[in-house]
């Protein structure tokens, strides 16, 4: 943690799991709950906890519905989430200085 | 799945740095971009069908097979759209299909099919069918669809494919002669600028899976 002053970063996104979720959604725009669970190798409960925090902060929207008779939970990034993620990445890159990879 | 994505919740905070976090962000963004992407099946389907149809039309024009426009393009239309409807039905059963990039991608390619189909049906009915006009229309629509696909999926090399169709459109609009050899050019363009990118996309999608 020598050069990593995380206190200047958004603490909601800073959790490694939530950072991974936000990174994924920043390009995929939305994903199924099961897809995120598989990709991040998390349990249902663990993923739900992290998504709840992101949803409460307004960074993601969680919509439950059906495809045919099959229940489906879709998670999508919000405008606020996109802005917060961008700010987070810029802050992170600033820590690494001008030599930071793009 | 990269090393950055393993055991996210159990990551040792002492090992965490801005650099490792940026690496995680990059790998997840790339995975998300590919999730929003495409597997190239539609390209392979239409690239193969168009290549065969243009080649058959060339053979027809030079007299190797009987001259028939409907006999060549009719089956291509039926097979192509039949396969599209079957794949759309299968995708609806398998997943959400609501990803905005997928919607933009499928809509742009549906526009290609509809645009060419409308011209084909109306011009044949009115007796105004013209091969050069078809090629110009198809090149413009396909180039635009590749441009949209490249932008929404982030697969930037598809921009070169769009550029290829733009160059072909420029050539077709400039030339005054549309002879049998132009049909071979269109068959080659279908193979090089639709079928081949489709195969590459399928390979990329398979690697990601």
Domain residue limits, chain A: 10-93
Minimal Cβ distance to A74: which of B5, B25, B98: B98
In a shared domain, residues B20 and B122: no
Label residue A54 by pLDDT band (50, 70, 90).
Answer: very high
Residue A52's pLDDT is what? 96
- A61–B contact, CB cutoff 8 A: no
Is the separation of the CB atoms in B116 and B134 below 8 Å? yes
What lies within 8 Å, CB to CB, of A86 at 6+ separation is: none
Q: Determine the distance from the C-alpha atom of residue A87 to the mean position of all C-alpha atoms in its chain, rounded to a whole number.
A: 13
In a shared domain, residues B122 and B25: no
Nearest CA-CA distance, residue B95 and chain A, Å: 8
In a shared domain, residues B16 and B117: no
Please state, rounded to an integer, the average pLDDT across all residues of chain A: 84
- Per-residue pLDDT of B122-177, as tens digits, reads 988 898 888 888 889 999 999 998 998 888 777 789 999 999 999 999 999 998 88
First-to-final CA distance of chain B? 9
Residue B167's pLDDT is what? 95
A60-67 β-sheet, strand order: A30-32, A70-77, A60-67
Mark out the alpha helices in A8-43 (DSSP H runs).
Answer: 11-14, 16-28, 33-40
What lies within 8 Å, CB to CB, of A72 at 6+ separation is: A32, A33, A64, A65, A66, B96
In a shared domain, residues B50 and B144: yes
Is the separation of the CB atoms in A20 and B9 below 8 Å? no
Mutate to test the interface with A, among B5, B14, B15, B18 (most CBs of A within 10 A): B18
Average pLDDT over residues A51-72: 86
Q: Give the lowest-confidence range in A59-63, A68-72, B2-6, B44-48.
A: B2-6
Q: Give the lowest-confidence range in A10-24, A72-86, B29-43, B159-173.
A: B29-43
Is domain A10-93 annotated with CATH 1.10.287.130? no
**CB-hemisphere CA count at 13 Å for A68?**
10
Which residues are paired to A76 by β-bridges?
Answer: A30, A61
In a shared domain, residues B94 and B147: yes
Domain range for residue B23? 1-35
Give the count of domains, chain B: 2
Residue B185's pLDDT is what? 93
In a shared domain, residues B21 and B64: no
* DSSP secondary structure letter of residue A63: E
Q: In chain B, which residues have pLDDT < 50?
A: 1-6, 12, 96-97
Average pLDDT over residues A24-49: 89
């Amino acid at each position: 943690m020598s050069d990593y002053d995380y206190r200047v970063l958004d603490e909601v996104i800073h959790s490694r799991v939530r950072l991974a979720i936000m990174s994924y959604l920043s390009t995929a725009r939305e994903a199924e709950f099961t897809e995120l669970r598989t990709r991040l190798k998390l349990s249902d409960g663990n993923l739900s906890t992290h998504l709840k925090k992101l949803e409460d902060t307004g960074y993601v929207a969680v919509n439950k519905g059906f495809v045919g008779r099959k229940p489906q939970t879709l998670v999508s990034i919000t405008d606020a989430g996109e802005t917060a993620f961008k700010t987070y990445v810029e802050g992170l890159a600033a820590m690494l200085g001008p030599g930071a990879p793009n | 799945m990269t090393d950055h994505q393993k055991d996210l919740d159990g990551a040792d905070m002492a090992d965490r740095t801005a650099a490792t976090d940026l690496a995680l962000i990059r790998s997840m963004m790339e995975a998300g971009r590919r999730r929003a992407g495409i597997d190239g099946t539609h390209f392979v389907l239409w690239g193969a069908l168009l290549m065969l149809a243009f080649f058959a039309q060339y053979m027809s024009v030079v007299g190797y097979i009987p001259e028939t426009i409907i006999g060549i393009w009719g089956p291509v239309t039926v097979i192509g759209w039949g396969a599209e409807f079957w794949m759309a039905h299968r995708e609806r059963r398998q997943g959400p299909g609501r990803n905005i990039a997928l919607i933009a991608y499928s809509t742009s390619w549906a526009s290609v099919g509809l645009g060419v189909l409308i011209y084909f049906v109306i011009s044949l009915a009115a007796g105004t069918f013209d091969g050069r006009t078809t090629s110009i229309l198809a090149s413009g629509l396909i180039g635009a669809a590749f441009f949209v696909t490249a932008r929404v999926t982030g697969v930037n090399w598809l921009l070169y494919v769009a550029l290829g169709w733009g160059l072909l459109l420029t050539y077709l609009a400039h030339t005054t002669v549309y002879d049998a050899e132009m049909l071979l050019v269109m068959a080659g363009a279908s193979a090089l600028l639709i079928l081949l990118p489709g195969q590459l996309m399928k390979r990329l999608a398979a690697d990601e899976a």
